[in-house]
Amino acid sequence: MDAQIILHVDGEDRSLTVDTRTTLLDALRERLGVTSPKKGCDHGQCGACTVLLDGRRATTCLAFAVAYDGAQVTTSQGLVDGDELHPMQQAFLDHDGFQCGYCTPGQICSAVGMLDEAKAGHPSQVTDDLTGPVELDEAEIRERMSGNLCRCGAYVNIVAAINEAANG
């Protein structure tokens, strides 16, 4: 069964007809040509397909596209402001927060969403003070980014990049 949906991808309205079983990742990549979210594990375990869905980070390989009709989808490509990189993207470049780059778009989207969660006061497993503002130290960043895997092992540089974007 097919369904007509509209996705607001990186500031542009995109209309498409999809089979109701189509994942949001496949709709973005195969139907709309948006290739920054990557197909890594296809089980929601690696985070390579992470985007911001209505401002919150989400793995698109587990989401059916029809469930997000009308949603705002922001990929790492959509974080750019004209010719200016998003501060998180710039921090990843400054700190060599990538090697092969496959996980980088998902890492960046997840990091941006994570910073918003921390600013809103959402605690993590390692948050010491549940009543005050969240302080993003290395332990907090590592815990909050634990759903995004880097097969190259660039974690030290990824944490440094996020730390700079969060606190610099």
- The whole-number pLDDT of residue 35 equals 96
Distance set, CA 155 to CA 37, 65, 111 (Å): 19, 31, 13
What integer is the mean pLDDT of 83-107?
Answer: 96
Closest CA to 31 of 20, 39, 22: 22
**Percentage of the chain lying above the pLDDT 90 cut:** 93
Q: Both 75 and 94 in a single domain?
A: no
Which contiguous run of DSSP H or E holds residue 24? helix 24-26
Q: Both 9 and 47 in a single domain?
A: yes
Note down the domain range covering 136: 87-167
- The whole-number pLDDT of residue 168 equals 76
* pLDDT tens by residue, 31-74: 999 999 999 999 999 999 999 999 999 999 999 999 999 999 99
Phi, psi torsion values for 93, nearest 5 degrees: -65, -45
Asked which of 58, 79, 100 is the last residue of a domain, the reply is 79
Closest CA to 156 of 98, 76, 75, 82: 98
pLDDT reading at 99 higher than 80: yes
Asked which of 48, 79, 110 is the last residue of a domain, the reply is 79
* pLDDT tens by residue, 1-35: 999 999 999 999 999 999 999 999 999 999 999 99
Two tokens at 91?
A: 């921090």
Q: Both 73 and 98 in a single domain?
A: no
What integer is the mean pLDDT of 112-123?
Answer: 94
* pLDDT tens by residue, 59-68: 999 999 999 9
Q: What is the CATH number of the domain that holds 39?
A: 3.10.20.30
Average model confidence (pLDDT) across the chain: 95
Asked which of 79, 111, 138 is the last residue of a domain, the reply is 79
- The whole-number pLDDT of residue 132 equals 79
What integer is the mean pLDDT of 125-146?
Answer: 91
Q: Both 50 and 121 in a single domain?
A: no
Number of structural domains in the chain: 2
pTM as predicted: 0.95
- The whole-number pLDDT of residue 63 equals 96
Cα Rg of the chain, angstroms? 16
Q: Both 64 and 136 in a single domain?
A: no
Q: Three-state SS for 155?
A: helix
- The whole-number pLDDT of residue 30 equals 97
